[in-house]
Chains A and B, each alone.
Chain A
Amino acid sequence: MRERLKSSQWAGLGLIGGLVIFPFVIALLTGQPVDAGVPKFWQGMLIQVFILAVFAMSYDILMGYTGILSFGHALFFGTGAYTVGILLKHAGWDLGAALLAVIVIALVQSLIIGLLSLRVSGVYFAMVTLAFAQMAFLLAEATDFRQWTGAEDGLQSIPVPAWISPTNERLRFYYVTLGFTIVMYLLARQVVNSPTGKVMMAIRDNETRAKVLGYHALTFKLIAITVSGIMAALAGAFNALWNLNANPAVLGVGTTINALLMTIIGGVGSLIGPMLGAGVIQLLGYWLNVFFGPSWPLLFGIIYILIVLFLPYGIIGTWRLRGASWMALWRKRLQELRARL
């Protein structure tokens, strides 16, 4: 057990190390400067993966660890994006204060949404959250607030501070986003490993039994939705900073479905799985688009079905279930090979 924990920690450190040197590796491989051309492009690609990874992980805290299926997760992501955008563009706040405001607003928002909708569960909860998210979507599109939100055009040219400009300071933005993602992962891991997190998992497994043991389920669900909401809102804020805009689509159903897909593909209830899922979706989407053009979502649908069929527990889930026996099989084959040589 201890040995396996160590190996997974090594894998994590290796992954982080790899991501830290990644821009320079690409620069070395292509012979291009690290802040231009192909290296810059791939930094951008990974920045989007990092942002989506945090978003997917926040969804996992809710769905994977607490067993709450939300169809309105875009609400938090989108609100985060619009909050940081409006505060930077129209209120002239500095970035730190705006991000703090994102956290505070997400906290209040998730508590309100939680208190209003956690009275129902399962599919009903999913529907209520969907309704809230659609309300926000319509609000963002409403022409009445055009001067603040840009209505259906979205909030354009958000004035991101020069030192972190995603166009001129791409490498710095890359490291800031990577750091943000690592911090969010460590926080999420702390939450799920805490006594509170264990109660969340107990509620996921068997809510009534948890109540009989003496746990007030609503309290723990509220904590889960709040942690998840804040994390999603921060991911949304980073998304707005990266794109320099926020448009109504960030509040749309597609955004929530994206989080759901990433979580399922990567593996529910593992934190790291949804992060991998974010990478898979983003990179797969990019390559499919390169090779097959605008019809790529069709192919993606087929791949998604194949993944669900053959990896029903997602990448990480299936690995945890079958990894040990696969490794044993490989070792056996290697031994056979060696014996033959």
Chain B
Amino acid sequence: MSDWILTTQALTRDFGSLRAVDHVDLQVRAGSIHAIIGPNGAGKTTLFNLISGYIKPTSGRVLLRGRDITRVPLHRMAHLGIGRSFQITNIFPTLTVLENVRLAAQARGADNLRLWRNAGKLTAYIERAYTALRQVGLHERAAQIAATLPHGDKRRLELAILLAGDADILLLDEPTAGMATEQVPMLLDLLRGIRQGTNKTILIVEHNMSVVMSLADTITVMHQGRVLAEGSPAEISANQAVREAYLGTAFAGGQL
């Protein structure tokens, strides 16, 4: 049991008459990279929104290290060590790139209510922000206003914000979406580095199958709000039900 850092129990969410997430039991091993895949509308992002406290479930529970966090308010989640990035870029557009990341670094610190300090002098947060920016290769754009970044760079900024937050569990919602193809290996290296260098847990929703297959320890396949299958990349790519429901011809066509 202690192996599982994050579990969901019969997690369910309805939107009107639509059941977006249907009794999902998910178990995420500490220190692993766990991918969630499935066709569009399978409920992956809703599941993420439920786990990260962004929306509340209709029924079911989310447990973090065995503790029920289902009703924890959104702003407390980061303090429990859950950080997330968004599928649709979600940044602070009028602030600089550095400020975007620095705010993430500062969020869990003790300086948020220090009105008499100058934010530009809190070097520890700035250093952490620069580390994150360097990790995603954006450090040279630190002084730029975030809104003026090209789309691919905004995706990397999104990632840097997540990294600077120093969460124990990183929820990545389609990090490669909108990212330039040549940036994808950077992302892979980055996530592998996180797995090897730290005991952080990564939960990732991703459409890019080569990313998922080369990265994930465990894959959960979702289909119409339910868990269809779960297993190692090899098991999933061999699973007949998965092929039929989701991967279909593209999978058979040898995209792997």
Interface residues of A in 185-216 (CB under 8 A from B): 190-191, 193-199, 201-202, 204-206, 208-216
A205 near B92 with CB under 8 A, answer yes
Binds A, one of B98-106, B202-210, B228-236: B98-106
Q: Does A290 count as interface, using CB distance less than 8 angstroms? A: no
**CB < 8 Å: which of B104, B113, B114, B143 contacts A213?**
B104
Residue from A194, A214, A219 within 8 A of B114 (CB atoms): A194
**Closest Cβ neighbor of B103 among chain A residues:** A202
Q: Is B119 close to A, CB under 8 A?
A: yes
Q: List 29 A-B contacts (CB under 8 A).
A: A191-B115, A193-B118, A193-B119, A194-B118, A195-B106, A195-B114, A195-B117, A196-B113, A198-B99, A198-B119, A199-B106, A201-B92, A201-B94, A205-B94, A206-B91, A208-B54, A208-B74, A210-B92, A212-B54, A212-B74, A212-B75, A213-B78, A213-B103, A213-B104, A214-B75, A214-B76, A214-B79, A220-B112, A223-B115
The complex places the Cα of A205 from the Cα of B145 at a distance, in Å, of: 12
The minimal Cβ–Cβ distance linking B118 to chain A, given in whole angstroms, is: 5
Query: With a CB–CB cut-off of 8 A, which chain A residues contact B119?
Result: 193-195, 197-198
A193 to B95, CA, bound (A): 12
Residue pair A206, B107 in contact (C-beta under 8 Å): no
Contacts beyond the supplied A195-B117, A198-B95, A205-B91: 15 A-B pairs with Cβ under 8 Å: A190-B118, A193-B119, A194-B115, A195-B112, A195-B122, A197-B115, A201-B95, A209-B86, A209-B90, A212-B75, A214-B75, A214-B76, A214-B79, A215-B112, A217-B75
- Closest chain B CB from A202 CB (angstroms): 5
- Asked whether, in the complex, the Cβ of B112 is within 8 Å of the Cβ of A196, the reply is yes
| A198 contact set on B, CB distance < 8 A | 95, 99, 102-103, 106, 119
B residues within 8 A CB of A215?
Answer: 75, 107, 112
Interface assignment of A324: CB less than 8 Å from any CB of chain B: no
- Chain B residues whose CB sits within 8 angstroms of the CB of A205 once the complex forms: 91-95
Q: Which residues of A contact B113 (CB under 8 A)?
A: 195-196, 219, 223
Determine the chain A residues whose CB is within 8 A of the CB of B114 once the complex forms.
194-196
Q: How many Å from the CB of A209 to the closest CB on chain B?
A: 5
Is B15's beta carbon under 8 Å from chain A?
Answer: no
In the bound complex, what is the Cα–Cα distance between A199 and B112 (angstroms)? Answer: 8
**B133 contacts chain A at the CB level, 8 A cutoff:** no
A1 within 8 A of B: yes
Contact indicator A206/B115 (Cβ below 8 Å) = no
User: Which residues of the partner chain A approach B76 to less than 8 Å between Cβ atoms?
Assistant: 214
Nearest-CB residue, chain A, relative to B90: A209
Q: B161-200 interface mask toward A, CB cutoff 8 Å, 1 = contact, 0 = none?
A: 1000100000000000000000000000000000000000
Within the complex, the shortest CB–CB distance from B122 to chain A, in Å, comes to: 6
Distance A216 CA – B79 CA, assembled complex (angstroms): 11
**Cross-chain contact B99 with A212 (CB below 8 angstroms):** no
B107 / chain A contacts, CB cutoff of 8 Å: 213-215
The one of A190, A191, A214 in contact with B78, judged by C-beta atoms closer than 8 angstroms, is: A214
On A, residues with C-beta under 8 Å from B are: 1, 190-191, 193-199, 201-202, 204-206, 208-217, 219-220, 223
Using CB atoms, name the residue of chain B closest to A187: B115
Instruction: State whether the Cβ of B120 lies closer than 8 Å to any Cβ in chain A.
Output: yes
In whole angstroms, how far apart are the Cα atoms of A288 and B102 in the complex? 48
Which B residues touch A219, using CB under 8 A? 113
Q: Cβ of A190 and Cβ of B116 under 8 Å apart?
A: yes
Task: For the complex, give the distance between the alpha carbons of A217 and B118 in Å.
Answer: 20
On whether the beta carbons of A213 and B112 are closer than 8 Å, the reply is no
> In the assembled complex, which residues on chain A have CB atoms less than 8 Å from the CB atom of B165?
213-214
In chain A, what residue has the closest Cβ to B53? A212
With contacts A194-B116, A195-B122, A197-B119 taken as known, whether A206 is within 8 angstroms of B78 at the C-beta atoms is no
Shortest CB-to-CB span from A219 to chain B, Å, is 8
Determine the chain B residues whose CB is within 8 A of the CB of A190 once the complex forms.
115-116, 118
| Complex Cα–Cα for A12 and B88 (A) | 41
Q: Which residues of A contact B93 (CB under 8 A)?
A: 205-206
A193 touches B75 (CB 8 A): no
* Complex CA–CA separation, A2 to B15 (angstroms): 52
Would B78 and A212 count as touching, CB distance under 8 A? yes
In the bound complex, CA of A295 to CA of B236 (Å): 78
> Complex Cα distance A273/B204, Å?
45
> Is residue B77 contacting chain A, with contact meaning CB distance below 8 A?
yes
Judging by beta carbons under 8 Å apart, are A209 and B92 in contact? yes
CB neighbours (8 Å) of A217 from chain B are 75
- Docked-complex contact A210 and B103, CB < 8 angstroms: yes
Chain B residues lying within 8 Å of A191, measured Cβ to Cβ, are: 115
Which A residues are CB-close (under 8 A) to B86? 209
Closest to A216 in B: B75
Name which residue of chain A comes closest to B102, CB basis: A198
From A193, A214, A217, A219, residue with most partner B Cβ within 10 Å: A214
B79: A residues at CB distance < 8 A = 214
Judge whether B108 and A214 touch: CB under 8 Å. yes
Which of B79, B95, B161 neighbours the largest number of chain A CB atoms within 10 Å of its CB? B95
CB distance from B219 to the nearest CB of A (A): 25
The one of B77, B90, B143 that contacts A206, using a Cβ cutoff of 8 Å: B90
- The smallest beta-carbon distance between A183 and chain B, in angstroms, is 14
Specify the chain A residue showing the minimal Cβ separation from B94.
A205
A199: nearest residue on chain B (CB-CB)?
A: B112
